[in-house]
Amino acid sequence: MSTEPTDWLIGQSVPRVEDDRLLRGAGRYTDDLHVPDALEVAFLRSTEAHARITSIDISAAKAMPGVIAVYDGASVVDRIKPLLNAEELRVPPGIAALDPINKLQPAPILATDEVNYVGQPVAMVVAETRYLAEDAIEVIDVAYELLPAVIDVEAALAEDAPLVLLGEDDNIGVHVRHGKGDTDAALASAAAVITETFSTQRYVCAPIETRGLVAQQDPFTGSLTIWSTTQTPHRVRDHVAGAIGLPVDDVRVQSVDVGGGFGQKGILVVEELLVPFAAHDLGRPVRWIADRFENLTADAHAREQVHHITLGADADGTLVAVKDHIVVNLGARNMVGLVVPYNALCHLIGPYQVANADLEATGVLTNTTFTSPYRGAGRPEATFAMERAMDRLAVELGIEPSELRRRNLITSEQMPYETGLLDRRGVPQEYDSGDYPAMLDRAVEMIDVPAVRARQAAEPDRRIGVGFALYLEMTGLGPFEGARVEVMPSGRVRLYTGAPSQGQGHRTVFAQILADTMGVAFDDIDVLAGDTASIPYGVGTIASRALVTAGNATAQAGELVRQRILEAAAGVLEANAADLTIEQGIISVTGTPSVELTLADLIRSVPKLAGGSGSDGLGETSYFQPPNYATASGAHAVTVEVDTATGRVEILDYVVVHEAGTIVNPVVADAQVIGGVGQGIGGIMSEHLRYDENGQPITSTFSDYLMPISEMVPEIRMDEIVCPSPTNPLGVKGLGEGGAVGPPAAIANAVEDALRPEGVSVLSGPLSPGRILDMLRDSEVSR
């Protein structure tokens, strides 16, 4: 790398280049794009949780004013292939050796004879405006014959449970069991054993910008351009091309400004195939933006899990065995396979060493909306179970919970650490680096456990409690991400990558990396992420992977271009490439400061140089394939006070100590963590996507589905430790998800600690005032 370390932008809080435009209202989000004569779409969705469709009549809708086309299941069944998120459903060989169940259940594009959840698309109207399209939806006649619906996972697992999906043998979509040692024997001889059932309720990513896309067919070539809110543009390209039978090169997907994703925009839904199909079929641009009702009821849900967990320990608190049966509510179909169940399974034990484990995950179908990963993707749910169980074990043994944790942590001397389990790729799980004891010590000191205990003793009438949550996150999911770096005719440098931003600041952070690598001025770099026409392959921004994969690809491609620049400049300056340096985009000869060449001069002369190499540009594409996960970690500590009269839980202090390798932009990184904490607080305190017993979603607006507002998220006191990752040249780890993993467990631990004098058990969220009062009442009854 070329510039002096003191000038390095990596590690500096460079202000974001994104902000000026966004602050002026000059962003370009999908629904902002003005595409002349674009038609708009409205969907007719199932009103029933499970039913047979006996008839659909779309003739009246077709005759409505302003309607261009109406499609039902029958009209598309032979024209669009059903949706299978194949990338997520793949089972790597190592996992296949565990003999898992992973049923392939393609989603019908529009329902033909059966609907399996409320919100499932049944018909699509394309009209001149959304208003006119919705008018036409009103006059479509669908007759349903109701079938028994199953909403609850335990009911779905019952022997005589009705089938969620007709034609399947049972309601199990996914199953895997994995472990090590002899768990039953270890539990039988353990000095202390605790068993409990902890669960996480269903919630929704709910980015403030909902999912949407605009598709336009080129009248000359017939190719399709799609502007989309997706987190994974290349996957959308491949799916659209495959589903409607276009060559993949004739579909271009462009991510524009995107208003948050968090996982919901990381998997494909049928609407994303239907809208491009309509543009192709009608030869006119077509737009669809989900409204909030669609977002909450008919786009992916997340998080609903039950953990039947058992921990065994010696009398001194040394863990000897962990057993957990994880039951995941998948919704109406197995959409993303082992992703969430296996993530939960292989992150459950986290930073602790334990010789024996027996972990089983069952993904259960119910007549509810399908589910996707949501920030953390199984880790918040697993951490909730494990860290709640650790607190129970501490109480059982009479050990301070933070001390019990300390006794069981993997130490930095043990790094890299093999857990004895298989990771998500099906290879031996290895934590690359970290210092969990240092992290915990810092959190214990910051939250000041002795002071909280003294306060509890001094003020026995108040209900104050302290809670911790420790977790790991194996970040930087492969298999690859790419970067193309190109010196443009103006002399500016462009970076193209498949990993778009939904708010993470890629235009700034990737430019910092490229400026350092190439010796180009930060202001001379433009980052264009998520356009399939500018780089042929990509995965996307999911699973805390963008910085690790695209960041390192950027550094690789930047270094290759720097070499090309030096070689080309050597020819122009008639100097030795080894004597040249690039600083702030100016090439000079060491020791001869009068001789200089700008990148603009160079790129203008390179293709025209007599006797040139024949490769006329200054551009390179490089792909980075991470050899292993970069394992980030965090310790959250919180004190709360519970008002037993009102049920209100107040967060008095919230501390995060995190570790995510080399930090490229500290302000951006801290804000990612805090944003995750905010979502985690929402999840444990108020959010709950609820169904009634018939499968009707009853929290279908933002007035019923309660997201956190500012006053619910306290100031967050932060500290960090840094253990650069040996898995990649930049030493970085992902931290997009981590912040969301800790809050549910830490806050629930603190609330149970506060309410211990009342005998309250905290088994699940949300910890809303009403539920806290219920818990207090229940504990009185049982006492």
Partner 1 sequence: MSNLDPSGPPAAEPTARHTITFTVNGEAVTAEVESRLLLTDFLRHRLRLTGTHVGCEQGACGACTIQLDGQPVRSCLLLAAQVDGRDIRTIEGLAGPDDELTAVQQAFADQHGLQCGFCTPGFVMSVTSLKEQTQATGQAPTEAEVQDCVDSSYCRCTGYVNIRKAARQALGLPVDVPVSLDSTSGEVSE
How far apart CA 514 and CA 10 sit, in angstroms, is 9
Determine contact, residues 247/224, Cβ cutoff 8 Å. Answer: no
Find all residues with CB under 8 Å of 772, minimum gap 6, and list them.
642, 647, 648, 649, 751
Determine contact, residues 251/241, Cβ cutoff 8 Å. Answer: yes
Residue closest to ligand FES when measured from CB atoms: 208
Is residue 261 near ligand FES by the rule CB under 6 A?
A: no
Which residue, 256 or 514, is less far from ligand FES as judged by CB?
256
Binding span for partner 1 by CB under 8 A among 317-325, 389-397, 427-435, 672-680: 672-680
Which residue, 538 or 680, is less far from partner 1 as judged by CB?
680
Q: Which does 201 bind (CB under 5 to 8 A by kind): ligand FES, partner 1, none?
A: none
Q: In a 10 Å sphere around its CB, with 0-12 CB exposed, 13-18 middle and 19+ buried, how is residue 143 labelled?
A: exposed
How far apart CA 216 and CA 288 sit, in angstroms, is 12
Task: Give just the sign of the alpha carbon dihedral 390, 392, 395, 396.
Answer: negative
Is residue 503 near ligand FES by the rule CB under 6 A?
A: yes
Which residue, 395 or 446, is less far from partner 1 as judged by CB?
446
How far apart CA 450 and CA 402 sit, in angstroms, is 11
Q: How far is the CB of 702 from ligand FES (least distance, A)?
A: 7
User: Can you read off the two tokens belonging to residue 88?
Assistant: 């997520």
Tell me which residues in 208-247 interact with ligand FES (CB under 6 A).
208
Which residue, 480 or 702, is less far from partner 1 as judged by CB?
702
Which residue, 709 or 781, is less far from partner 1 as judged by CB?
709
Give the count of residues interacting with ligand FES (CB under 6 A): 4
Which residue, 460 or 593, is less far from partner 1 as judged by CB?
460
Site string for partner 1, 274-313 (x = CB under 8 A): -----------------xx---------------------
Checking DSSP bridges between strand 251-255 and strand 224-228, what pairing results, if any?
Answer: parallel
Q: Enumerate long-range contacts of 446-453, CB under 8 Å, 24 or more apart.
A: 446/637, 446/655, 446/657, 446/717, 446/719, 447/637, 447/638, 447/639, 447/653, 447/655, 449/400, 449/402, 452/639
Q: How far is the CB of 775 from ligand FES (least distance, A)?
A: 32
User: Can you read off the two tokens belonging to residue 664?
Assistant: 């490229």
Contacting residue, 119, 263, 505, 558, with partner 1 by CB under 8 A? 505
Which residue, 127 or 603, is less far from partner 1 as judged by CB?
127
- The terminus-to-terminus CA distance of the chain in angstroms comes to 68
Binding span for partner 1 by CB under 8 A among 118-126, 335-343, 391-399, 714-722: 714-722
Tell me which residues in 10-69 interact with partner 1 (CB under 8 A).
15-16, 18-20, 22-29, 31-32, 34, 65-66
Q: How far is the CB of 648 from partner 1 (least distance, A)?
A: 8
Tell me which residues in 715-754 interact with ligand FES (CB under 6 A).
none
Which H helix or E strand runs over 180? strand 172-180
Contacting residue, 260, 500, 676, 742, with ligand FES by CB under 6 A? 260
Q: How far is the CB of 503 from partner 1 (least distance, A)?
A: 3
Which residue, 588 or 768, is less far from partner 1 as judged by CB?
768
Q: Which does 713 bind (CB under 5 to 8 A by kind): partner 1, ligand FES, none?
A: partner 1
Q: In a 10 Å sphere around its CB, with 0-12 CB exposed, 13-18 middle and 19+ buried, how is residue 758 labelled?
A: middle
Residue 766, preceding peptide bond in cis (omega within 30° of 0): yes
Q: In a 10 Å sphere around its CB, with 0-12 CB exposed, 13-18 middle and 19+ buried, how is residue 453 labelled?
A: middle
Backbone φ and ψ for 44, nearest 5 degrees, come out as: -90, 130
Tell me which residues in 240-279 interact with partner 1 (CB under 8 A).
257-260, 262
Which positions touch ligand FES (CB under 6 A)? 208, 259-260, 503
